[in-house]
Amino acid sequence: MSEERTEISEIGEFGLIDHLNEKIIIKNASTIKGIGDDAAVIEAGDHVKVVTTDLLLEGVHFDMSYAPLPHIGFKAVAVNVSDVAAMNAVPKQITVSIALSNRFSVEAVEALYAGINAAAEHYGVDVIGGDTTASRSGLVISVTAIGEAKKESLSFRSGAKVNDIICVTGDLGGALVGLQILEREKQVYLANPDMKPELEKYSYVTGRQLRPEARMDIVHELRELGIVPSSMMDVSDGLASELFHICKASKIGVTIYEDKLPIDKQTFDTAVELNLDPITCVLNGGEDYELLFTIDQKDFEKLEKHADIHFIGHVTKEEEGKFLVTKSGTAVQLKAQGWKHF
Amino acid sequence: MSEERTEISEIGEFGLIDHLNEKIIIKNASTIKGIGDDAAVIEAGDHVKVVTTDLLLEGVHFDMSYAPLPHIGFKAVAVNVSDVAAMNAVPKQITVSIALSNRFSVEAVEALYAGINAAAEHYGVDVIGGDTTASRSGLVISVTAIGEAKKESLSFRSGAKVNDIICVTGDLGGALVGLQILEREKQVYLANPDMKPELEKYSYVTGRQLRPEARMDIVHELRELGIVPSSMMDVSDGLASELFHICKASKIGVTIYEDKLPIDKQTFDTAVELNLDPITCVLNGGEDYELLFTIDQKDFEKLEKHADIHFIGHVTKEEEGKFLVTKSGTAVQLKAQGWKHF
């Protein structure tokens, strides 16, 4: 090894990933798409498989002091299903590996798997493999999901075209606000274990954080309507960050409108209570696992009346840049902050 | 969660896995084989994909005080390729997720990936996805490998038939003996950091532990010879343990012969030096990643002269049991110990 030492924080998580990916060369004809989208795509005869994987660690991705084990198991599956959904594909199989220390009882492992199996049932996927091993410290969960699609119905990050309409499902910012509440109540509890956490009035936002839903319903509805999004991602790092990814991959610009951004009333009220700007939560809050996608204008009519799809802006030329038009009509440059674990 | 607390050690790692797997129900027609073999099998139009995954943790599966980072990366890939080989399939894609703490520099991550990329190059697989994330403690590596095969050329654990010949590649016990040497030298070093570890004379056995080779060469040779093993596994937990898996899945018995078991001279000598019984190392040493397989007697002639395939015994009826015939001609019952991390 060289004598040099560059800290990961100097180049950041995305910088590190880009740096490592530069060295990867694709050799097999059956690899249609490697790293760089929500999932990889491989050939499978008459169709394609999409493959995605996530590694979740206690203390980094979840906190067992407030996340119940069945929710942790459910979420580990849902976040992978969400990546399959973001390719406009249907999940079919998952592998699940877990590492745990001897502070876990058999009953605790059962509770974790109850959540994994509930998610597998809910999303119609088969648990086809995995690994259960010892850990010296916390719980580690690694899930790989495999989905299926017709090659022509895949949605990549790279397909957005000028004048396409930018759509987002559900509402945003809830998972971030929920996390802040859970952290606040944890601190209250740590300071005084006799205090009962006050969570009832925050049930929507904490639910968004603890047990997110992958939007497979939208994938199926789009299929029924004959719509293939020109580009799609799931909102795991935050809306602004995801828009930046689509802009980069599709070589486009975007203009979105503050008054079109979907936010739930409880998210809004809780953000205000926490002295957070609700719009910043919507733009930069991660882990909502909603779908962000673009459609051709001709498809707008088919979705116009959909109660859970919001049209937040449109695609512009790359040189026009990335803008948010505020309620007062001012265009401000979008900034992508995203999540940073390092 | 229930009030009961059952320790994992009470039911063991295999017991826990069996217990969890009982609750898994396969729903999708495209899932040909789920949990229970070296890899799962899913339909892919004109062929099948095999899928296998492994989760490796610092301090449990590898020790950074003696395993160089490039070797750790190489091995993480090789052990998954070995599971694909054990299905008689050819690996095509892998995903690699890693979690690491800020004690790792960018250069250290590069060294790890140098090993991963070397293995990807060596086995002809594409790195198609993954995840790089923060860890609060040690290094975690999760690899999923996807391979391809014609459905009719797959080898499962369940296909061995009475009178089949039991074959094993390479030599066994080296990885275990190598691990003992590495542990011994680590203790010497910890006791006196001025002592230089004496590793040169143990280079074969330590190499078996640190940088094992998946036997894809054998898979390709069998294909060229037109041989499909009636059953196959890779030797990751130990020969005896793997034979037990094949016996259970195929509902058969086995008789193997001590004088046919392949052991390298350095493995033998080092075992003796360490006061270990060499045959116990061969039977119960894990991590050699050789292939254990059974063939129909009609295929014997084609392999008879192969320098690296050893014919260690034959398949018997289930009720005849599992026996090792010692050099003195005594038949003793085989015991499977395998690896226990818990």
Amino acid code (one letter) for A70: P
Distance from CA of B134 to the nearest CA of A (A): 6
Q: Could you say which of B7, B27, B61 has the minimum Cβ distance to residue A126?
A: B27
Nearest Cα residue in chain A from B16: A106
pLDDT, one tens digit per residue, over B292-305 is 999 999 999 999 99
Answer whether A126 sits within 8 Å of B28, measured CB to CB.
Answer: yes
Nearest Cα residue in chain A from B46: A45
Residue listed under structure tokens 């499902």 = A169
Band (B17; pLDDT cuts 50, 70, 90): confident
Nearest Cα residue in chain A from B101: A342
Q: What is the pLDDT of residue B197?
A: 78
A326/A333 Cα distance (integer angstroms): 10
- Quote the tokens at residue B324: 């090792």
Cite the residue boundaries of each domain of chain A with CATH code 3.30.1330.10. Answer: 31-153
Answer whether A124 sits within 8 Å of B47, measured CB to CB.
Answer: no
Does pLDDT of A341 surpass 60?
Answer: no
Does pLDDT of B184 surpass 50?
Answer: yes
Q: What is the pLDDT of residue B3?
A: 67
Cite the residue boundaries of each domain of chain A with CATH code 3.90.650.10. Answer: 157-333
Does pLDDT of A284 surpass 50?
Answer: yes
Answer whether B55 sits within 8 Å of A11, measured CB to CB.
Answer: no
Cite the residue boundaries of each domain of chain B with CATH code 3.30.1330.10. Answer: 29-153
Does pLDDT of A303 surpass 50?
Answer: yes
Band (B136; pLDDT cuts 50, 70, 90): confident
Does pLDDT of B337 surpass 90?
Answer: no
User: Which one of A77, A112, A127, A342 makes the best mutation probe of the B interface by having the most chain B beta carbons within 10 Å?
Assistant: A127
B47/A109 Cα distance (integer angstroms): 36
Burial of B16 (0-12, 13-18, 19+ CB in 10 A): buried
B228/B230 Cα distance (integer angstroms): 6
CATH topology of domain B29-153: 60s Ribosomal Protein L30; Chain: A; (3.30.1330)
Of the two residues A188 and A1, the one the predictor is more confident about is A188
Its sign, for the CA torsion B81, B86, B87, B88, is: positive
Its sign, for the CA torsion A155, A158, A164, A167, is: positive
pLDDT, one tens digit per residue, over A105-159 is 999 999 999 999 999 999 999 999 988 888 987 999 999 999 999 999 999 999 9
Amino acid code (one letter) for A185: E
Answer whether A134 sits within 8 Å of B95, measured CB to CB.
Answer: no
Q: Could you say which of B6, B132, B148 has the minimum Cβ distance to residue A13?
A: B132
Residues of A in contact with B59 (CB under 8 A): 136
Answer whether B148 sits within 8 Å of A30, measured CB to CB.
Answer: yes
Q: Could you say which of B2, B55, B341 has the minimum Cβ distance to residue A107?
A: B2
Q: What is the DSSP letter of A93?
A: E
B267/B276 Cα distance (integer angstroms): 10
In sequence order, the β-bridge partners of residue A51 are A40, A146
Does pLDDT of A340 surpass 60?
Answer: no
CATH number for A157-333: choose from 3.90.1150.10, 3.90.650.10, 2.120.10.30, 3.90.1070.10.
3.90.650.10
Distance from CA of A54 to the nearest CA of B (A): 6
Q: What is the pLDDT of residue A306?
A: 96
Q: Give the A:B interface size as CB pairs under 8 Å.
A: 272
pLDDT, one tens digit per residue, over B92-119 is 999 999 999 888 999 999 999 999 999 9
Q: Looking at this predicted complex, what is its ipTM?
A: 0.93
Amino acid code (one letter) for B195: M
- Quote the tokens at residue A3: 């004598």
Looking at chain B, the whole-number percentage of residues with pLDDT higher than 70 is: 97
pLDDT, one tens digit per residue, over B215-239 is 999 999 999 999 999 999 999 999 9
Per-residue pLDDT averaged across A158-172, rounded? Answer: 98
Its sign, for the CA torsion A167, A275, A176, A202, is: negative
pLDDT, one tens digit per residue, over B236-281 is 999 999 999 999 999 999 999 999 999 999 999 999 999 999 999 9
Residue listed under structure tokens 């998580």 = A13
- Quote the tokens at residue A228: 């293939």
Answer whether B53 sits within 8 Å of A108, measured CB to CB.
Answer: no
Answer whether B45 sits within 8 Å of A45, measured CB to CB.
Answer: yes
Answer whether A39 sits within 8 Å of B137, measured CB to CB.
Answer: no
Per-residue pLDDT averaged across B37-59, rounded? Answer: 95
Indicate the Cα dihedral angle A118, A122, A126, A132, nearest 10°: -30
Of the two residues B188 and B124, the one the predictor is more confident about is B124
- Quote the tokens at residue A67: 């996340």
Q: What is the pLDDT of residue A91?
A: 98
Q: Could you say which of A33, A47, A55 has the minimum Cβ distance to residue B140?
A: A55
Answer whether A7 sits within 8 Å of B105, measured CB to CB.
Answer: yes
Distance from CA of A149 to the nearest CA of B (A): 11
Phi, psi of B275 (to 5 degrees): 60, 35
- Quote the tokens at residue B287: 């991590």
Q: Could you say which of B42, B57, B128 has the minimum Cβ distance to residue A140?
A: B57
Per-residue pLDDT averaged across B128-141, rounded? Answer: 90
A140/A60 Cα distance (integer angstroms): 10
Answer whether A93 sits within 8 Å of B24, measured CB to CB.
Answer: no
Does pLDDT of A305 surpass 80?
Answer: yes
Answer whether A127 sits within 8 Å of B24, measured CB to CB.
Answer: yes
**8 Å CB contact between B299 and B210:** no
Band (A46; pLDDT cuts 50, 70, 90): very high
Residues of A in contact with B9 (CB under 8 A): 102
**pTM for this structure?**
0.94
Answer whether A8 sits within 8 Å of B125, measured CB to CB.
Answer: no
Strands ordered across the beta sheet of A291-295: A231-234, A291-295, A165-169, A309-317, A252-257, A322-325, A331-333
Band (B309; pLDDT cuts 50, 70, 90): very high
Distance from CA of B152 to the nearest CA of A (A): 16
CATH number of A31-153: 3.30.1330.10
Per-residue pLDDT averaged across A193-219, rounded? Answer: 93
Answer whether B133 sits within 8 Å of A61, measured CB to CB.
Answer: yes
**8 Å CB contact between A229 and A295:** yes
Nearest Cα residue in chain B from A40: B128
Answer whether A142 sits within 8 Å of B142, measured CB to CB.
Answer: yes
Band (A3; pLDDT cuts 50, 70, 90): low
In sequence order, the β-bridge partners of residue B31 are B42
Q: How many CA atoms lie within 13 A of A321 on its CB side?
A: 8
Nearest Cα residue in chain B from A70: B1
Distance from CA of A55 to the nearest CA of B (A): 6
- Alpha helices, DSSP H only, in B167-319? 174-191, 203-210, 216-225, 239-250, 265-273, 278-284, 300-303
Per-residue pLDDT averaged across B324-339, rounded? Answer: 86
